[in-house]
Amino acid sequence: MKRRPQLVCVVGARPNFMKIAPIYTALERPGTIDPILVHTGQHYDEAMKDTFFRQLGIPEPDLDLEVGSGSHAVQTAQIMQRFEPVLEDAAPFAVLVVGDVNSTIACGLVAAKKQVPLIHVEAGLRSGDRTMPEEINRVLTDQLSALLFTTERAARDNLLREGIAEDKIHFVGNVMIDSLLGHLDQAFPPAETLARHGRKWPLNSNNNASDYAVLTLHRPSNVDDPEVLGRLLQTLTEISRRMPIIFPCHPRTDKMIERFGLDGLIAASGIISTPPLGYLEMLGLIRSARLVLTDSGGLQEETTALGVPCVTLRENTERPITITEGTNTLVGSDPDAIFTCVEDILNGGGKRGRIPARWDGKAAQRIVQVIEKKLL
Ligand code: UD1
């Protein structure tokens, strides 16, 4: 029997999992391609990895490279070293990478040097900020790619400006939103999530169940500097006196809060800190929140898709459509800007936004169709 052509699909870190899940399903449906799932092991904890595989229905990886944490150089180098023999054994017709994490560029670089066509999902996003490790990963991965799938129209212009040939670029929509739409009906009610972490529900005395904000914070620029993190948490503490803030805390941030002695500040505030939450827990929390405060890329898109106001605690975004069409507002880390934006949302309801083009749950199907047409 003739072997089906093999496509190596790479995942490494939490935001990759919701992107690969719908692609995997879409690949399995027509069955013309044999997907091989490789997890680099960049994220490895139950809460950062296994919960997501389970909730998103991603099969056990065919291979786990088990690289774990490390500096950028160490992590990237180890992924490359362990990924190279995988390509030699599998001889796939292409390698597919998603997003902008270290696993994306590391595997992309190995594939390109082995002359295996590279497919990049979520190509062309640019913050213009090269102090962000992800920006370097994005620019370089796009340069190496044979097929580039974009989520918003501005991405194509960015790629053309960087000399990428137009016929490699395909505007397919957003696989992260495929996952969101496919799992909304399974999202966990906030009461259940909070109860599991020993919190009563509703959180506030006026009994309005939706009267809370969700906070996530993990960008090195926000959490690795004691002054910046201290100022942000001080500001958020003040906001939490008006409205409880649920704060699923990333392991990097958790470590920094402890190192800088900021735990006391949170304990004395209306910020309810929990360990990292699963995909279905987060979806349920965000959907019903009054607003979301975040420095995550994915949450800017998920809040736009859900019509929930998003206050982005960054100076720039690589996802401009969430501002021009969605519910997102950039405020940076300046306390006054954060207070003003939150106040506007609480008083006026915030931006309503509209759903961007092709964020319709069908991005993964389009991707598979293009791969079959262009690479098989
Ligand atoms: C990585 C991505 C970032 C993404 C984020 C989502 C890069 C350059 N950064 O950042 O784009 O938004 O993931 O979470 O790829 N840790 C654990 N358990 C884990 C994984 C990590 O405790 O399962 C801790 C370790 O202490 C580690 C730290 O988190 O040192 C940072 O992990 P790392 O993967 O290096 O970067 P993130 O900050 O998670």
Torsion of CA 90, 95, 100, 105, to 10 degrees: 60
Please tell me the total count of domains within the chain: 2
**Residue list, ligand 1 pocket, CB within 6 Å:** 13-15, 42-45, 48, 69, 101-102, 133-134, 218, 250-252, 255
**Among candidates 86, 108, 16, 99, which has minimal Cα distance to 53?**
16
Are both 111 and 211 inside the same structural domain? no
In a domain, 354, yes or no: no
Q: 195 and 128 in one domain?
A: no
**Cβ contact 291:345 at 8 Å:** yes
Determine, yes or no, domain membership for 32. yes
Q: Which residues of the chain have pLDDT under 50?
A: none
Other Cβ atoms within 10 Å of 210 Cβ, number: 10
CA of 252 to the centre of ligand 1 (A): 7
Q: Would residue 38 count as lying in a domain? A: yes
Q: d(Cα 46, Cα 26) in Å, to the nearest integer? A: 26
Are 167 and 222 within one domain? no
Whether residue 79 sits in one domain with residue 198: no
Q: How high is the pLDDT of residue 206? A: 65
For residue 218, the CA-to-ligand 1 centroid distance in Å is 8
Same domain, yes or no, for 45 and 128? yes
Q: Whose CA is nearest to atom 22 of ligand 1?
A: 251
Q: Token digits for 224?
A: 């690795």
In this structure, are 311 and 366 located in the same domain? no
Q: Are residues 146 and 207 in the same domain?
A: no
- What is the atom index within ligand 1 of the atom nearest the CA of 68? 20
Q: Atom of ligand 1 at shortest distance to CA of 44?
A: 23
Burial (Cβ within 10 Å: 0-12, 13-18, ≥19) of residue 163: exposed
Cα separation, 35 vs 32, in Å, equals 10
Same domain assignment for residues 194 and 221: yes
- Among 48, 80, 101, 138, residue to substitute to test ligand 1 (most atoms within 8 Å of Cβ): 101
Q: What is the Å distance from ligand 1's center to 256 Cα?
A: 13
The reply to whether 169 falls in a domain is yes
Where in the sequence is the domain holding 59, given as residue range(s)?
6-173+359-375
83 falls within a domain: yes
Residues 159 and 257 in one domain: no
What separation in angstroms does the CA of 179 have from each of 38, 55, 107, 187, 219? 19, 11, 23, 12, 23
CATH of the domain at 195: 3.40.50.2000
Rounded Cα–Cα distance for residues 77 and 106 (Å):
7
Q: Would you say residue 353 lies in a domain? A: no
Report the alpha-carbon distance of residue 123 to residue 118 in Å, rounded: 12
Same domain, 148 and 188: no
Can you give the pTM of this predicted structure?
0.97
Does residue 153 sit in the same domain as residue 204? no
The catalytic residues are 218
Does residue 231 share a domain with residue 104?
no
* 49 within a domain of the structure (yes/no): yes
Has residue 179 been placed in a domain? no
Question: Residue 72 C-alpha to ligand 1 middle, in angstroms?
Answer: 10
pLDDT in tens, 93-122: 999 999 999 999 999 999 999 999 999 999
Q: Determine which residue's CA is closest to atom 19 belonging to ligand 1.
A: 43
